[in-house]
Amino acid sequence: MSLDLDDLNTSSMDKDLQDFLVIEQQKAHFQQQIHRLNEICWDKCVTDKPSSKLDSRTEGCLNNCVDRFIDASLAITQRFAQLIQKQSMN
């Protein structure tokens, strides 16, 4: 079996397309996380009818909510990475 230039170009294009799709999926996942974060923190912190400016209590609540959401996401990601690394060693 021999490869010609057309086969090489096709496989290179396939790899480029796969890389592009992975990046786009990561972007979509990130956008979903941001949307979820907005919903969770908004529902938790904005209890009164919003005005043109956030009061200090609401602003503090939103800051804390975002910080905890990020902390939890990082902890979960690190735990999955540890599990994958442990599995790859076995």
Q: How does pLDDT run across 16-59, given as a tens digit for each residue?
A: 888 899 999 999 988 998 898 899 999 999 988 878 888 999 99
Neighbours of 50 (CB within 10 A): 11
- Judge contact between 65 and 40, C-beta under 8 A: yes
Nearest to 42 by CA among 50, 30, 53: 50
Q: At what angle do helices 56-89 and 5-45 cross, to 10 degrees?
A: 140
Compute the distance between CA of residue 37 and CA of residue 59 in angstroms, rounded to an integer: 15
* Per-residue pLDDT at 82: 92
Lowest mean pLDDT among 3-12, 28-37, 48-57, 77-86: 3-12
Domains of the chain: 5-89 (1.10.287.810)
Name which of 24, 22, 89, 33 is nearest 81 in CA terms: 89
